[in-house]
Amino acid sequence: MPDQTRLEVALEALAPGRVQSLRLDGDRASVILDATGLSGEGQKALEADARALLAEQGAGEVRVLLTSDRVKRQLVAVASGKGGVGKSTVAANLAIALARAGRKVGLIDADIYGPSQPKLMNVEGSKPQARQKTLIPVPTPYGVPLLSMGQLVAADQAIAWRGPMAAGALAQLAEADWGACDTLVIDLPPGTGDVQLTMIQKYRPTGAVIVSTPQDLSLIDARRAIDLFAKAGVPVIGIVENMAGYACPHCGEISDPFGSGGAEAAARELGLPFLGRIPLDIAIRTASDAGEPPAAGTGPHGAAFTGIATRVAAWLSKGAPHAADQ
Ligand SMILES: Nc1ncnc2c1ncn2[C@@H]1O[C@H](COP(=O)(O)OP(=O)(O)O)[C@@H](O)[C@H]1O
Ligand SMILES: [Mg+2]
Protein backbone atom coordinates (compact mmCIF):
# COMPACT_ATOMS: atom_id res chain seq x y z
CA MET A 1 0.00 0.00 0.00
CA PRO A 2 1.50 3.37 -0.95
CA ASP A 3 2.36 5.74 1.87
CA GLN A 4 1.22 9.39 1.66
CA THR A 5 4.26 10.99 3.25
CA ARG A 6 6.79 8.92 1.32
CA LEU A 7 4.96 9.63 -1.94
CA GLU A 8 4.85 13.34 -1.22
CA VAL A 9 8.57 13.46 -0.51
CA ALA A 10 9.38 11.47 -3.63
CA LEU A 11 7.12 13.61 -5.84
CA GLU A 12 8.55 16.81 -4.43
CA ALA A 13 12.04 15.52 -5.21
CA LEU A 14 10.94 14.69 -8.76
CA ALA A 15 9.20 18.02 -9.40
CA PRO A 16 10.19 20.60 -6.79
CA GLY A 17 7.55 23.26 -6.26
CA ARG A 18 5.15 21.68 -8.73
CA VAL A 19 3.18 19.28 -6.54
CA GLN A 20 -0.18 20.88 -5.87
CA SER A 21 -1.95 17.94 -4.32
CA LEU A 22 -1.71 14.22 -3.81
CA ARG A 23 -4.68 12.12 -2.80
CA LEU A 24 -4.59 8.44 -1.95
CA ASP A 25 -7.62 6.21 -1.87
CA GLY A 26 -6.44 2.70 -1.11
CA ASP A 27 -3.91 2.02 -3.86
CA ARG A 28 -5.40 4.66 -6.15
CA ALA A 29 -3.33 7.84 -6.40
CA SER A 30 -4.37 11.16 -7.93
CA VAL A 31 -1.86 13.90 -8.23
CA ILE A 32 -2.10 17.45 -9.50
CA LEU A 33 1.10 18.98 -10.83
CA ASP A 34 1.69 22.57 -11.87
CA ALA A 35 3.24 22.47 -15.32
CA THR A 36 3.55 26.22 -15.78
CA GLY A 37 6.41 27.15 -18.09
CA LEU A 38 7.04 23.64 -19.44
CA SER A 39 6.96 22.86 -23.15
CA GLY A 40 4.57 20.20 -24.47
CA GLU A 41 7.41 17.72 -24.38
CA GLY A 42 8.40 18.77 -20.89
CA GLN A 43 4.84 18.26 -19.74
CA LYS A 44 4.69 14.76 -21.23
CA ALA A 45 7.97 13.86 -19.56
CA LEU A 46 6.79 15.21 -16.21
CA GLU A 47 3.59 13.20 -16.43
CA ALA A 48 5.43 10.01 -17.45
CA ASP A 49 7.97 10.40 -14.64
CA ALA A 50 5.22 10.99 -12.07
CA ARG A 51 3.32 7.91 -13.28
CA ALA A 52 6.43 5.76 -13.11
CA LEU A 53 7.29 6.98 -9.64
CA LEU A 54 3.79 6.40 -8.28
CA ALA A 55 3.64 2.91 -9.77
CA GLU A 56 7.05 2.09 -8.36
CA GLN A 57 5.85 3.21 -4.92
CA GLY A 58 2.95 0.77 -5.01
CA ALA A 59 0.05 2.72 -6.53
CA GLY A 60 -2.21 0.47 -8.60
CA GLU A 61 -4.22 3.09 -10.43
CA VAL A 62 -2.69 6.48 -11.17
CA ARG A 63 -4.28 9.76 -12.26
CA VAL A 64 -2.04 12.67 -13.12
CA LEU A 65 -3.55 16.07 -13.80
CA LEU A 66 -1.37 18.88 -15.11
CA THR A 67 -2.36 22.49 -14.58
CA SER A 68 -0.63 25.56 -15.83
CA ASP A 69 -0.94 29.30 -15.54
CA ARG A 70 -1.90 28.92 -11.94
CA VAL A 71 -3.33 32.17 -10.64
CA LYS A 72 -0.52 34.37 -9.46
CA ARG A 73 -1.74 35.44 -6.08
CA GLN A 74 -0.49 38.30 -3.95
CA LEU A 75 -0.97 38.29 -0.19
CA VAL A 76 -1.37 41.54 1.72
CA ALA A 77 -1.12 41.26 5.51
CA VAL A 78 -2.85 43.95 7.56
CA ALA A 79 -1.18 44.15 10.94
CA SER A 80 -0.92 46.27 14.06
CA GLY A 81 1.17 46.21 17.20
CA LYS A 82 -1.92 46.12 19.38
CA GLY A 83 -5.65 45.51 19.18
CA GLY A 84 -8.41 48.05 18.91
CA VAL A 85 -6.64 50.40 16.48
CA GLY A 86 -8.96 49.57 13.57
CA LYS A 87 -6.95 46.83 11.87
CA SER A 88 -10.04 44.79 10.96
CA THR A 89 -11.88 47.90 9.77
CA VAL A 90 -8.96 48.79 7.50
CA ALA A 91 -8.58 45.20 6.24
CA ALA A 92 -12.28 44.91 5.28
CA ASN A 93 -12.41 48.29 3.57
CA LEU A 94 -9.07 47.79 1.83
CA ALA A 95 -10.31 44.46 0.43
CA ILE A 96 -13.54 46.04 -0.83
CA ALA A 97 -11.76 49.07 -2.31
CA LEU A 98 -9.19 46.85 -4.09
CA ALA A 99 -12.08 44.80 -5.51
CA ARG A 100 -13.84 47.94 -6.71
CA ALA A 101 -10.59 48.94 -8.41
CA GLY A 102 -10.74 45.75 -10.48
CA ARG A 103 -8.76 43.19 -8.55
CA LYS A 104 -10.19 39.81 -7.67
CA VAL A 105 -9.91 39.93 -3.92
CA GLY A 106 -10.42 37.42 -1.14
CA LEU A 107 -10.36 38.23 2.56
CA ILE A 108 -8.84 36.05 5.29
CA ASP A 109 -9.62 36.77 8.91
CA ALA A 110 -6.69 35.20 10.73
CA ASP A 111 -7.25 37.08 13.97
CA ILE A 112 -7.70 34.23 16.41
CA TYR A 113 -8.20 36.64 19.31
CA GLY A 114 -11.08 38.60 17.86
CA PRO A 115 -12.31 37.41 14.48
CA SER A 116 -14.62 40.20 13.33
CA GLN A 117 -14.78 39.96 9.54
CA PRO A 118 -18.03 37.92 9.30
CA LYS A 119 -19.80 40.80 11.04
CA LEU A 120 -18.02 43.55 9.08
CA MET A 121 -18.72 41.78 5.78
CA ASN A 122 -22.35 41.09 6.68
CA VAL A 123 -22.18 37.28 6.69
CA GLU A 124 -22.36 36.65 10.42
CA GLY A 125 -23.23 33.05 11.28
CA SER A 126 -22.12 31.73 7.87
CA LYS A 127 -20.20 28.48 7.70
CA PRO A 128 -17.91 27.67 4.80
CA GLN A 129 -18.52 24.46 2.85
CA ALA A 130 -15.67 22.08 2.14
CA ARG A 131 -14.95 20.07 -0.99
CA GLN A 132 -12.82 17.09 -0.07
CA LYS A 133 -10.62 18.77 2.52
CA THR A 134 -10.53 22.14 0.76
CA LEU A 135 -12.56 24.97 2.24
CA ILE A 136 -14.73 27.05 -0.02
CA PRO A 137 -14.80 30.74 0.93
CA VAL A 138 -18.15 32.31 1.79
CA PRO A 139 -19.45 34.87 -0.72
CA THR A 140 -20.21 38.32 0.76
CA PRO A 141 -22.47 41.14 -0.51
CA TYR A 142 -19.32 43.10 -1.46
CA GLY A 143 -17.91 40.70 -4.04
CA VAL A 144 -15.09 39.70 -1.70
CA PRO A 145 -15.23 36.05 -0.61
CA LEU A 146 -14.28 35.49 3.02
CA LEU A 147 -12.83 32.85 5.30
CA SER A 148 -12.53 33.55 9.00
CA MET A 149 -11.05 31.74 11.96
CA GLY A 150 -14.37 32.74 13.56
CA GLN A 151 -16.18 30.44 11.12
CA LEU A 152 -13.99 27.52 12.15
CA VAL A 153 -13.99 27.98 15.91
CA ALA A 154 -17.03 28.58 18.12
CA ALA A 155 -17.18 32.18 19.32
CA ASP A 156 -17.28 31.33 23.01
CA GLN A 157 -14.38 28.94 22.79
CA ALA A 158 -11.38 30.45 24.50
CA ILE A 159 -8.54 30.39 22.02
CA ALA A 160 -5.08 30.06 23.47
CA TRP A 161 -3.29 28.88 20.37
CA ARG A 162 0.42 28.57 20.11
CA GLY A 163 2.21 29.85 17.02
CA PRO A 164 2.36 26.58 15.06
CA MET A 165 -1.34 25.84 15.61
CA ALA A 166 -2.36 29.29 14.50
CA ALA A 167 -0.04 29.03 11.49
CA GLY A 168 -1.57 25.67 10.57
CA ALA A 169 -5.05 27.16 10.75
CA LEU A 170 -3.99 30.12 8.61
CA ALA A 171 -2.53 27.72 6.03
CA GLN A 172 -5.90 25.97 5.88
CA LEU A 173 -7.57 29.29 5.12
CA ALA A 174 -4.93 30.49 2.67
CA GLU A 175 -4.92 27.19 0.77
CA ALA A 176 -8.68 27.17 0.39
CA ASP A 177 -10.34 27.22 -3.02
CA TRP A 178 -9.81 30.92 -3.78
CA GLY A 179 -10.61 30.34 -7.45
CA ALA A 180 -9.69 33.31 -9.59
CA CYS A 181 -8.71 35.59 -6.68
CA ASP A 182 -5.44 37.35 -7.47
CA THR A 183 -5.18 39.21 -4.17
CA LEU A 184 -5.73 37.94 -0.63
CA VAL A 185 -6.02 40.47 2.19
CA ILE A 186 -5.19 38.92 5.58
CA ASP A 187 -6.39 40.42 8.85
CA LEU A 188 -3.58 39.20 11.14
CA PRO A 189 -3.85 38.88 14.91
CA PRO A 190 -2.61 42.04 16.67
CA GLY A 191 0.73 42.01 18.42
CA THR A 192 4.28 40.99 17.72
CA GLY A 193 4.67 37.66 19.50
CA ASP A 194 5.41 34.09 18.44
CA VAL A 195 1.97 33.49 16.98
CA GLN A 196 2.37 36.38 14.57
CA LEU A 197 5.99 35.56 13.68
CA THR A 198 5.21 31.91 12.94
CA MET A 199 2.24 32.90 10.80
CA ILE A 200 4.30 35.38 8.82
CA GLN A 201 7.18 32.97 8.34
CA LYS A 202 4.97 30.08 7.30
CA TYR A 203 2.79 32.15 5.03
CA ARG A 204 5.10 34.83 3.77
CA PRO A 205 2.87 37.69 2.62
CA THR A 206 3.87 39.77 -0.40
CA GLY A 207 3.74 42.88 1.74
CA ALA A 208 2.33 44.28 4.97
CA VAL A 209 0.12 47.26 5.76
CA ILE A 210 0.62 48.55 9.31
CA VAL A 211 -2.30 50.25 11.04
CA SER A 212 -1.70 52.67 13.89
CA THR A 213 -3.53 55.42 15.73
CA PRO A 214 -1.66 58.73 16.08
CA GLN A 215 -0.92 58.07 19.76
CA ASP A 216 2.65 57.62 20.92
CA LEU A 217 2.00 54.30 22.58
CA SER A 218 0.31 52.90 19.53
CA LEU A 219 3.19 54.12 17.36
CA ILE A 220 5.71 52.31 19.53
CA ASP A 221 3.63 49.17 18.98
CA ALA A 222 3.51 49.86 15.24
CA ARG A 223 7.31 50.09 15.19
CA ARG A 224 7.48 46.66 16.83
CA ALA A 225 5.19 45.31 14.12
CA ILE A 226 7.45 46.81 11.46
CA ASP A 227 10.49 45.16 13.10
CA LEU A 228 8.66 41.84 13.09
CA PHE A 229 8.12 41.99 9.32
CA ALA A 230 11.71 43.08 8.79
CA LYS A 231 12.84 40.04 10.78
CA ALA A 232 10.70 37.79 8.56
CA GLY A 233 11.97 39.49 5.38
CA VAL A 234 8.51 40.76 4.41
CA PRO A 235 8.43 44.27 2.94
CA VAL A 236 6.19 46.86 4.58
CA ILE A 237 3.95 48.53 1.98
CA GLY A 238 3.25 51.44 4.29
CA ILE A 239 1.47 52.82 7.34
CA VAL A 240 -2.19 53.78 7.72
CA GLU A 241 -3.16 56.28 10.39
CA ASN A 242 -6.59 55.47 11.80
CA MET A 243 -8.79 57.42 14.22
CA ALA A 244 -7.12 60.70 13.37
CA GLY A 245 -9.07 63.86 14.23
CA TYR A 246 -12.53 63.60 15.72
CA ALA A 247 -15.37 65.21 13.78
CA CYS A 248 -18.00 66.32 16.30
CA PRO A 249 -21.33 64.83 15.18
CA HIS A 250 -23.13 67.97 16.36
CA CYS A 251 -21.07 70.92 15.19
CA GLY A 252 -18.68 69.22 12.77
CA GLU A 253 -15.66 70.76 14.46
CA ILE A 254 -12.55 68.60 14.20
CA SER A 255 -10.72 67.88 17.41
CA ASP A 256 -7.77 65.56 17.88
CA PRO A 257 -8.27 63.33 20.92
CA PHE A 258 -5.39 61.09 19.85
CA GLY A 259 -3.42 63.81 18.11
CA SER A 260 -2.97 63.64 14.36
CA GLY A 261 -0.11 63.19 11.95
CA GLY A 262 1.90 61.02 14.35
CA ALA A 263 1.81 58.01 12.07
CA GLU A 264 2.80 60.09 9.05
CA ALA A 265 5.78 61.52 10.94
CA ALA A 266 6.76 58.04 12.10
CA ALA A 267 6.48 56.72 8.54
CA ARG A 268 8.78 59.51 7.31
CA GLU A 269 11.26 58.81 10.08
CA LEU A 270 11.30 55.12 9.22
CA GLY A 271 11.53 55.78 5.49
CA LEU A 272 8.20 54.04 4.85
CA PRO A 273 5.36 55.20 2.63
CA PHE A 274 2.41 56.85 4.37
CA LEU A 275 -0.71 55.30 2.86
CA GLY A 276 -3.37 57.61 4.24
CA ARG A 277 -5.41 58.80 7.15
CA ILE A 278 -8.87 57.69 8.29
CA PRO A 279 -10.66 60.11 10.62
CA LEU A 280 -12.22 59.05 13.88
CA ASP A 281 -15.92 59.22 13.10
CA ILE A 282 -18.81 57.54 14.83
CA ALA A 283 -20.32 56.95 11.36
CA ILE A 284 -17.47 54.53 10.60
CA ARG A 285 -18.28 52.53 13.69
CA THR A 286 -22.03 52.41 13.14
CA ALA A 287 -21.61 51.46 9.47
CA SER A 288 -19.10 48.76 10.43
CA ASP A 289 -21.38 47.39 13.14
CA ALA A 290 -24.22 47.25 10.61
CA GLY A 291 -22.07 45.24 8.19
CA GLU A 292 -21.89 48.10 5.68
CA PRO A 293 -18.24 49.03 5.30
CA PRO A 294 -17.77 52.65 4.12
CA ALA A 295 -15.62 51.55 1.17
CA ALA A 296 -18.71 49.89 -0.34
CA GLY A 297 -20.59 53.20 -0.35
CA THR A 298 -20.11 56.62 -1.86
CA GLY A 299 -19.48 58.71 1.28
CA PRO A 300 -16.33 60.67 2.12
CA HIS A 301 -14.89 57.87 4.26
CA GLY A 302 -15.18 55.51 1.33
CA ALA A 303 -12.91 57.89 -0.57
CA ALA A 304 -10.32 57.77 2.22
CA PHE A 305 -10.16 53.99 1.96
CA THR A 306 -10.09 54.16 -1.83
CA GLY A 307 -7.02 56.41 -1.63
CA ILE A 308 -5.25 53.88 0.56
CA ALA A 309 -6.25 51.02 -1.76
CA THR A 310 -4.90 52.94 -4.78
CA ARG A 311 -1.48 53.23 -3.11
CA VAL A 312 -1.48 49.57 -2.11
CA ALA A 313 -2.52 48.50 -5.62
CA ALA A 314 0.27 50.62 -7.13
CA TRP A 315 2.80 48.96 -4.85
CA LEU A 316 1.47 45.49 -5.73
CA SER A 317 1.56 46.06 -9.45
CA LYS A 318 4.99 47.67 -9.64
CA GLY A 319 6.59 44.25 -9.71
CA ALA A 320 6.13 43.21 -6.11
CA PRO A 321 6.73 39.46 -5.95
CA HIS A 322 3.76 37.17 -6.51
CA ALA A 323 3.08 34.54 -3.87
CA ALA A 324 3.46 31.83 -6.49
CA ASP A 325 6.97 33.05 -7.36
CA GLN A 326 8.27 32.95 -3.82
N1 LIG B 1 -11.87 55.54 12.11
C2 LIG B 1 -12.74 55.06 12.99
N3 LIG B 1 -13.72 55.85 13.51
C4 LIG B 1 -14.59 55.36 14.41
N5 LIG B 1 -14.59 54.11 14.86
C6 LIG B 1 -13.64 53.27 14.39
C7 LIG B 1 -12.68 53.69 13.42
N8 LIG B 1 -11.90 52.63 13.13
C9 LIG B 1 -12.34 51.60 13.87
N10 LIG B 1 -13.38 51.98 14.64
C11 LIG B 1 -14.12 51.17 15.60
O12 LIG B 1 -13.21 50.81 16.64
C13 LIG B 1 -13.43 49.48 17.06
C14 LIG B 1 -12.15 48.67 16.86
O15 LIG B 1 -11.88 48.57 15.47
P16 LIG B 1 -11.35 47.20 14.83
O17 LIG B 1 -11.24 47.41 13.37
O18 LIG B 1 -12.18 46.06 15.30
O19 LIG B 1 -9.91 47.16 15.51
P20 LIG B 1 -8.83 45.97 15.61
O21 LIG B 1 -9.12 44.99 14.54
O22 LIG B 1 -7.52 46.67 15.46
O23 LIG B 1 -9.00 45.41 16.98
C24 LIG B 1 -14.62 48.97 16.26
O25 LIG B 1 -15.78 49.15 17.00
C26 LIG B 1 -14.61 49.86 15.02
O27 LIG B 1 -15.91 50.01 14.46
MG1 LIG C 1 -9.74 43.02 14.70
For the stretch 30-71, pLDDT in tens is 999 988 777 778 888 899 999 999 999 999 999 999 887 656
Query: Residue 288 C-alpha to ligand 1 middle, in angstroms?
Result: 8
- CATH code of the domain covering residue 268: 3.40.50.300
CB-based contact 309:94 (threshold 8 Å): yes
Domain that holds residue 60: 4-67
Atom of ligand 1 lying closest to residue 80 CA: 22
The residue nearest atom 19 of ligand 1, judged by CA position, is 86
Q: Assess whether 278 and 207 both reside in one domain.
A: yes
Q: Assess whether 181 and 113 both reside in one domain.
A: yes
Tell me the DSSP string of 205-247.
-SEEEEEE-SSHHHHHHHHHHHHHHHHTTPPEEEEEEEEEEEE
80 labeled part of a ligand binding site: no
Amino acid letter for position 21? S
Q: Assess whether 50 and 172 both reside in one domain.
A: no
Q: Assess whether 60 and 114 both reside in one domain.
A: no
Share of the chain above pLDDT 70, in %: 90
85 labeled part of a ligand binding site: yes
Band (326; pLDDT cuts 50, 70, 90): very low
Q: What is the pLDDT of residue 159?
A: 66
Say how far apart CA 248 and CA 116 lie, in whole Å.
27
> What proportions of the chain, in percent to the nearest 5, are helix, strand and coil?
40, 25, 40
Domain boundary among 45, 67, 89: 67
